[in-house]
Amino acid sequence: MGVTNKAGDSIETENANWSFGGDVPNTFDSHVSRSVPLYNEGHELILKLADYFLHNDSVCYDLGCSTGELIRKITEHTNKDIKFIGVDCENSMLNKARGKSYGKHNVDFIEGDLENIELEKSDLIICYYTIQFIPPKYRQQLIDTIYESLNWGGAFILFEKVRAPDSRFQDIMTGVYTDYKLDQGYNAEEIINKSRSLKGILEPFSLKGNTDLLERAGFVDYMSVSKYISFEGILAIK
């Protein structure tokens, strides 16, 4: 057992050993809303984008659904007859998610890893800050599966933290993001502890790295729909 350190919002971490399990789900929603710029605004954007792709009898996936907050919002946003499926590898996250969607018979949550997932034919698949936690050697396989699972005209919404194109820009973005977290009330020690805990776990690609994944899978039509500091959202249509 390693030495635990505080990362803010009552979350304790270890060096290079960040986990979404344990007690993290209890404060995850508030923690991620403070840690990721425009996190809730990204949800609102996805609700608006979803209107263009979800129809009666559609299937919609949220891969890496965590506490199911986005699925809860989409189900409250639409009255269409849609099947929603959330997938996450942490049972404690899914327990939170099931509680939020209790009694909604068109919502299902599945525990499992994304590396070898099988998906139903669907009209919308969402990865909201998920791919960055998938080991790089499995990312292309997952994006390939997503592309093959989408119906023609269906959409993939991908939000990711991205690396800058070179070290000069990366230094600037790191500094600006550190200032952002300080403005959110985190102290320097909490910021450092969180960063250390994510070593080898959060591995963002550059924007080009992510679009290369999309293109190799078969996506031709895609565009950036959101960008703030080093956090970017992409809409890809099959």
DSSP structure string for the chain: ----EE-STT-EE-TT---SSTTHHHHHHHHHHHHSTTHHHHHHHHHHHHTTT--TT-EEEEET-TTSHHHHHHHHH--S--EEEEEES-HHHHHHHHHHTTT-TTEEEEE--STT-----EEEEEEES-GGGS-HHHHHHHHHHHHHHEEEEEEEEEEEE-B-SSHHHHHHHHHHHHHHHHHTT--HHHHHHHHHHTTTT--PPBHHHHHHHHHHHT--EEEEEEEETTEEEEEEE-
Mean pLDDT of 129-139: 96
Q: What is the structure's pLDDT at 1?
A: 46
User: φ and ψ at 116, to 5 degrees?
Assistant: -130, 35
Q: Which two structure tokens, joined as six digits, stand for 77?
A: 């946003």
The pTM is what? 0.93
Range in 9-18, 23-32, 111-120 with the lowest mean pLDDT: 9-18
Domains and CATH numbers, the chain: 5-237 (3.40.50.150)
pLDDT band at 145 (very low <50, low <70, confident <90, very high): very high
Q: CA dihedral defined by 156, 54, 238, 163, rounded to 10 degrees?
A: -20
105: pLDDT confidence band, cut at 50, 70 and 90?
very high
- Does residue 98 surpass a pLDDT of 90? yes
pLDDT at 27: 87
Q: What is the dihedral of CA 233, 64, 38, 154, to 10 degrees?
A: 40
